[in-house]
Amino acid sequence: MEKATTKRSADPAACELLTRCSEEKLVLSWDRYEAQQPSCGFGAQGICCRLCAMGPCRIGKKAQAGVCGATADTIAARNFARMIAAGTAAHSDHGRSVAEVFLLTAEGKIPGYEIKDEQKLYQLALDLEIEIGKKPVKEIALEVGKKLLAEFGRQEGELRFIKRAPLKRQEIWRKLGITPRGIDREVVEIMHRTNMGVDQDIDNLMLQGSRCALADGWGGSMIATELQDVMFGTPVPRTSAANLGVLREDEVNIVIHGHEPLLSEMIVAASRSQEMRELARKVGARGINLTGICCTANEMLMRHGIPIAGNFLHQELAIVTGAVEAMIVDVQCIMQGLAELSQCFHTKLITTSSKAKITGALHLEFDEHDALKTARKIVQTAVENFPNRRKARVCIPDKTCGMVVGFSHETINYLLGGMFRASYKPLNDNIINGRIRGIAGVVGCNNPRVEQDSAHLAMVRELIKNDVIVLSTGCGALACGKAGLLTPESAREFAGPGLAEICETVGIPPVLHMGSCVDNSRILMAATAVVKQGGLGDDISDLPAAGAAPEWMSEKAISIGQYFVASGVFTVFGVTFPITGSQGMKDLLFERMEKSLGGKWAFEPDPIKAAQIMIEHIDKNPGNGCFTT
């Protein structure tokens, strides 16, 4: 009962509701985590294999190899590679859905969607070597959509966005033979190679692991981000609020949870319609209050400033407020526990994707061909559920925090250099003159193994205190938002003098919220822009930069970590690390990989120590001010 005595969350709103849960004996992820203890050491260390029916096999004192002779190294590498494949598949299948809808939009076949950011479309067309000339926007969009959709099934050559990376980086990939050919192909090849009796050399397995992860970061995820920006708008800075206090007692509360903005954008539109607002008034509500959890929250936040209810471990807590009429989910990071928990309240759990049904939930399938109609039906279901809310059961923690969000790579460019001379030069100059010590990407999930948000916050505070500017996405960014770190004012309180001065001059927070988890591709683009600006080296691996996911839990995080590493970034993960039972994999990921890729992994569950090793790495890199001044 390890967790019963320790704090479950660093978030005061969560703590308030967790007290209610224990009084009412409601079972949440933290309780289920405890019920799972002691967790399997073989699994945690990555040395359990169940790839064939001769097994399952586990490596320990009693047996040094599986029935087939597979060693701890091979088993751990295969498991790790499969995590990368699953993460890449999730991000990229999301990217594929976006590309499909984008194409249908360009073809004028579906109502509701449009091309919002023409400028970004032109930039994309240039990158894809599409002639613009006097072509109408729709025609350019059509060509862009076709080219990007073809990236998923491409069989040979190189993914097109690979050319966006610094030239030196592209050469490293080519020399190692890990430039991704097609997105689906790299995922499939991992599944083949990790099948019983195929690839049994960890270096070779991890080369394919890198190739697949690159197909995520510079492929599927980047396609998702780029096309979402073109369709729904590239994020610009805006203010908003975070935490469960954004739920309203007198309004219909709809929480959208998951990942794909294809759905949430339509729900936003439907909930703002006159018809739905009138319906809300008819059932006695003052209006419709839309909010989100996880990356859907990030997508709506970045583009519309819609307040967010919370991050991964807030999903069940939102229902515990008793004030949510409907939780609408699409894909990824949705706990099955929501189905049972929602039965204890009036909340309707609504699944919307044919790819993700949950037993016990109401399924209202989202059809992009008539997206607004589906969205209206979903919103109507939520509104009509308002009279079922039991007032006595409502408990909304009075906790919210203001924040400034919306730092796309383009926005950072404009903010720093001005609208007419958009440039990363001021950032580079301030790194070279030492005011900013370096750049850290702190991203990723919550995990009940860690006091919710505590590792994110400790790490980020340590970094900014040491003048390292933090770029954040996903649930990590939401943790920062809830704790007040996404405000320009927080620089004065938490940042070192150099970083604080820059934040004050430019008017930015010391932690820049760059979006959802597919938007980690924005971090790749920002890092590349810094390289291309000049003065800090020729490659991402030359930059005074590091990455981290201190509370990770998802296979998607492993894929992100691997594409960071394969792009030349020193990357530190907390919690547990799924290869620690293999000395060979530890040597490869934590040391040897750096020689070939210029980036490597580290595992450090203590967030302060992790921040310190990131800073050590930052200080070692030649671009840093410590060396040039």
The footprint of ligand SF4 (CB under 6 A) covers 49-52, 54-57, 66-68, 70, 75, 196
Q: Which of 475, 491, 530, 546 binds ligand BF8 (CB under 6 A)?
A: 475
| Least gap, CB of 573 to ligand BF8 (angstroms) | 12
Find the shortest distance in angstroms from Cβ 517 to ligand BF8: 3
| Residue 85 contact partner, candidates ligand BF8, ligand SF4, none, CB within 5 to 8 A by sort of partner | none
Piece in contact with ligand BF8 (CB under 6 A), picked from 282-290, 322-330, 550-558, 603-611: 550-558
120 binds ligand BF8 (CB under 6 A): no
295 binds, among ligand BF8, ligand SF4, none (CB under 5 to 8 A by kind): ligand BF8
Q: Collapsing DSSP states into helix, strand and coil, what is residue 46? A: coil
CB of 195 to ligand SF4, least distance (A): 9
| Least spacing, CB of residue 581 vs ligand SF4, in Å | 13
Q: Which does 54 bind (CB under 5 to 8 A by kind): ligand BF8, ligand SF4, none?
A: ligand SF4
Residue 214 parent element (H or E): helix 202-215
294 binds, among ligand SF4, ligand BF8, none (CB under 5 to 8 A by kind): ligand BF8
Q: Binding ligand BF8 by CB under 6 A: which of 307, 406, 448, 474?
A: 474
For residue 386, the 8-state DSSP code is G
- Binding partner of residue 475 among ligand SF4, ligand BF8, none, CB cut-off 5 to 8 Å per kind: ligand BF8
Provide the angle, in degrees to the nearest 10, between the axes of the packed helices 425-432 and 497-506: 160
Run of H or E including 549? strand 545-549
Quote the DSSP letter at residue 393.
G
Among 28, 144, 254, 294, binds ligand BF8 (CB under 6 A): 294
Compute the distance between CA of residue 195 and CA of residue 15 in angstroms, rounded to an integer.
Answer: 44
Min. distance of Cβ 260 from ligand BF8 in angstroms?
11
As beta bridge partners, residue 398 has none
Q: Enter the tokens of residue 311.
A: 């991050």
Binding status of residue 444 toward ligand BF8 by CB under 6 A? yes
Buried b (16+ CB within 10 A) or exposed e, 189-228: bbeebbeeeebbebeebbbbbbbbbbbbbbbbbbbbbbbb
d(CA 378, CA 350): 8
- Report, in Å, the least distance between residue 129 CB and ligand BF8: 31
Report the b/e string of 43-68 with b at 16+ CB within 10 A. ebbbbbbebeeebebbbeeeeeebee
**Which distant-in-sequence residues (6+ apart) come within 8 Å of 320 by Cβ?**
17, 20, 21, 26, 28, 341, 345, 395
Q: Which is nearer to ligand SF4, 77 or 543 (CB)?
A: 77
Which residue lies nearer to ligand SF4 by CB, 57 or 511?
57
The DSSP bridge pattern shows strands 48-49 and 57-58 to be antiparallel
Decide: is 445 part of the binding site for ligand BF8 (CB under 6 A).
yes
- Residue 333 touches which of ligand SF4, ligand BF8, none (CB < 5 to 8 A by kind)? ligand BF8
Which residue of 8, 461, 556, 600 would you call a contact of ligand BF8, by CB under 6 A? 556
Cβ atoms of residues 207 and 176 within 8 Å: yes
Backbone angles phi, psi at 64, to 5 degrees: -85, -10
Between CA 164 and CA 102 the distance in angstroms is 21
Tell me which stretch binds ligand BF8 (CB under 6 A): 32-40, 181-189, 237-245, 552-560: 552-560
Q: Least distance (Å) from ligand SF4 to the CB of residue 53?
A: 7
Q: How far is the CB of 447 from ligand BF8 (least distance, A)?
A: 8
For 113-146, b where at least 16 C-beta lie within 10 A, e where not — what string?
bebbbeebbbbbbeebebeeeeeeeeebbbbbbb
In the bound complex, what is the minimum distance in angstroms from residue 86's beta carbon to ligand SF4? 18
Of 312, 320, 317, 300, which Cα lies nearest the Cα of 241?
300
Distance CA 231, CA 115 (A): 5
Give least dist CB 577 to ligand BF8, A.
Answer: 16
**Closer to ligand SF4 at the Cβ: 70 or 309?**
70
Q: In sequence order, what are the beta bridge partners of 405?
A: 238
- Local structure of residue 71 (DSSP, 8 states): B
Nearer to ligand BF8, 376 or 522 (CB): 522
Residue 142 interacts, among ligand BF8, ligand SF4, none and using kind-specific CB cut-offs from 5 to 8 Å, with none
306-365 binders of ligand BF8 (CB under 6 A): 312, 333
Return the beta strands (E) in 348-454 as ranges.
348-351, 362-363, 401-405, 438-442
Query: Least distance (Å) from ligand BF8 to the CB of residue 477?
Result: 9
In this complex, which beta carbon is closest to ligand SF4, that of residue 69 or of residue 622? 69
Please say which residue, 574 or 578, places its beta carbon nearer to ligand SF4: 578
Integer angstrom CA distances of residue 91 from 407, 443, 513: 21, 15, 19
Q: Which is nearer to ligand SF4, 56 or 622 (CB)?
A: 56
- Specify the residue, 305 or 444, whose C-beta has the smaller distance to ligand BF8: 444
Which lies closer to ligand SF4 via its Cβ, residue 50 or residue 109? 50
Smallest gap from Cβ 200 to ligand SF4, in A, equals 10
List the one residue from 517, 548, 588, 611 that touches ligand BF8 (CB under 6 A): 517
* 70, interface contact from ligand BF8, ligand SF4, none, CB < 5-8 Å by kind: ligand SF4
CA angle 65, 83, 481 (to 5 degrees): 140
Can you give the binding site for ligand BF8, defined by CB under 6 A?
259, 294-295, 312, 333, 444-445, 474-475, 516-517, 554, 556-557
